[in-house]
Structure 1
């Protein structure tokens, strides 16, 4: 088959570039040069050889360097850098130096973080930061106070949240926070009386756990609490803050705290053994034996149980040499008191109850207790104690 010839009136296809020649018209800048490969167009960047785009900087390399500089993200910078290096080689990109710098900085930061965690330096730094914030903000609302903080009251004491001035416990102060708890189970503002019924018992128990060495509490220091007002309740306040507060006496100097954070094992064992006795004694019924014998004999049994528990706790522990004798003497006194309270609990009528009542109460004061306390490094005398 013969090839088909194009029509004679159609011009032959143009081959190659036209020959250079003068540009028609009065303005003739010179020979005409067509736009070809590698020729700058006058606008924007010139193309590379054979029309290839210029090299770009790898984004992960930049991210690695930034993450390495920002010390809180060193592991991320290390990962970015390790991923960036093979990408740079594969895609013929720039940024190798950035990736290497990011890897080095991130590695150093990671090492410093490990050393900080092992040595506890971060914890110390954070505690210092918190202390700085506390010192900077001296005035707080009562429900924002933390356990162990000491403060002075701004104005008259009230049973609602109010502004207080936080101070160092080493200086004279009027109040010390023993703890706090959240009010639960209420869908609306319960009223002050309802909160009072809860707070009295809860704050007393919180205070007992905060200051186990009750002999160190001055006579004019009382359990107190700050509760939400109806207004703060609407704002989301549900916190009752319990405190020891000086009422009518001189400000206290020094912390009243005596718990596991301040006492040694021997002191804790002694106080946890004998303190339930005072708790039991404080549960005496309002009605006397003539009006409610059953309630009073039940109370006497509660005291007897606390006494026998204390005696067992004191006798079952190995005490330091200097404390051994006075603690043993106190245990014997407690045993003798327990026998009298057992008689009180077994009283068949009011007359029998009153026959043993005074004797039993008198036997809850032990002559050997100051020596036992002193030998363990506890407060050896009850009374005003640490007032300024």
Structure 2
């Protein structure tokens, strides 16, 4: 029996004269080329098995196991993929097994995290990071202790801020800040301003306790979010010391808090500063117009004077500061008597009679000699700051 030749593939149409003799096909003008030899497009030996494909579920299982976003999903995909791979003779068994292992480990870690509270801790850190991200969405991103120049022109909000060395002339210095909370929607500028003024006054007082070191034309300032930045998640209010005028510049840091003061300096300023602060809160209306408000204010100042005298007496003052601190206490004792008479005035006329004597008794320098001995600023700021 003669060996049979492989049946050639059918042509696109009937071949006159029967089928050609078995053998390699050629086209007119082309050289003879055996089947399967490179050079003839589409040529391949008869009977070659089809190419094996990779199971898609196996790939999905591995990806889900790696990213760890949905650990059970990768586990399910891998378990479904294995029988499909066997049935359809596909590739991807190793991928499916790897996906199952990674997803199982991720699921185990998820269960442990839920049981030990690790997920809650991670969520807390995530929220903290989101708050930080919201902070960076403000018109400018400044941090406590940084000094800056504000070159914004013709805009209601600061848009051109540059951080500089505090030793160089600058527009302001950041004292801290806070996040606006408790608002479901944009509360309006008036509500934010009211809250910012109150909060920033407290923050600035804690940041610059040596108030005499603050230039006279440097005031409390704050930078709130705008209605536009609010929609982007900005809830940050930045508190600062800033020049009274846009062109005001001052040099050197005004910071004097627990990071720069020693214990004696801090105790002295904490005790005496309330007197200074309350003197600036005198009612705008005189006693004839609002006697009650003036009498309440005099009582608050009297309480601050007595608290300072007692606080200075409870502290041990070292070296050269002992004598001047004791002298200040004696002055405060005299002032207490006069302010007591003012606070107890029965009417506006009596209030006016005691008014000048009370102010004369209050030491204007509030212990300049004690400040000198303690290494604090001992002269009140005078004149205007540097303007450019």
Regarding TM over 0.5, the answer is yes
CA shift at 1:247, angstroms? Answer: 2.5
Structure 1 stretches lacking a partner, 5+ long: 1-138
Structure 1 residue 362, shift from structure 2 partner: 2.8
Which consecutive residues of structure 2, in runs of 5 or more, have no partner in the other structure? 1-135
Equivalence for 1:369: 367
Partner of 1:290: 288
Determine whether 1:224 maps to 2:224.
no
Q: Does the Cα contact within 8 Å between 1:152 and 1:175 map onto a contact in 2? A: yes
In terms of mean alpha carbon deviation, does 212-221 or 312-321 score higher?
A: 312-321
Q: CA deviation at 1:250?
A: 4.8
User: Would you say 1:327 and 2:325 are equivalent positions?
Assistant: yes
CA distance in structure 1 between the aligned counterparts of 2:329 and 2:349, rounded to whole angstroms: 30
Q: Deviations over 1:53-95 (max 9, x none)?
A: xxxxxxxxxxxxxxxxxxxxxxxxxxxxxxxxxxxxxxxxxxx
**Contact 1:140 1:163 survives alignment (8 Å):** no
Partner of 1:339: 337
Deviation at 1:153, TM superposition (A): 0.3
Q: 1:142 to 1:212 in 2, by over 3 A?
A: farther
Q: What's 1:318 paired with?
A: 316
For residues 217-242 of structure 1, what are the alpha-carbon distances to aligned partners after superposition, in whole Å with 9 as ceiling and x for unaligned? 00110111111111000000111111
Do residues 189 (structure 1) and 186 (structure 2) align?
yes
- Equivalent position SS for 2:241: strand
CA contact (8 A) 2:217 2:385 kept: no
* Segments of 4+ moved more than 6 angstroms: none
CA contact (8 A) 1:141 1:164 kept: no
| Separation (CA, whole Å) in 1 of partners of 2:139 and 2:244 | 17
Q: 1:157–1:247: structure 2 CA closer, same or farther, 3 Å change rule? A: farther
- The alpha-carbon deviation at position 163 of structure 1 amounts to 3.3
Q: What residue is the counterpart of 1:267 in the other structure?
A: 265
Structure 1 residues 208 and 319, CA gap change in structure 2 (3 angstroms): same
Q: Does 1:234 align with 2:264?
A: no
> Equivalent residue of 2:249, what SS?
coil
Give the distance between the partners of 1:311 and 1:157, measured in 2 at CA. Answer: 50
Please tell me whether the aligned partners of residues 219 and 384 of structure 1 are also in contact (alpha carbons under 8 angstroms). Answer: yes
Give, in angstroms, the shift of residue 193 of structure 1. Answer: 1.4
* Rounded Cα–Cα distance in structure 1 between residues aligned with 2:203 and 2:154: 20
Is 1:214 the counterpart of 2:217? The answer is no
Show the 5 A alignment for 1:140-219.
144-156=141-153, 160-219=157-216
Deviations 1:342-373 (A, max 9, x none): 11110001000011112212332346721110
CA separation of 1:183/1:367 partners in 2, compared to 1, >3 Å: closer, same or farther?
Answer: closer
Cα deviation digits, residues 305-329 of structure 1 (max 9, x gap): 0000001111221111101111110
Q: Tell me the SS of whatever aligns to 1:145.
A: coil
Report how many aligned residue pairs link the two structures.
250
Cα displacement string for residues 148-195 of structure 1 (whole angstroms, at most 9, x for unaligned residues): 110000224966353310111121211100111111121111111111
Structure 2 distance, partners of 1:285, 1:367, is 22
Of 354, 357, 370, 2:355 maps to 357
1:204-262 deviation line (CA, Å, top 9, x unaligned): 11111110000000011011111111100000011111110122365221110000010
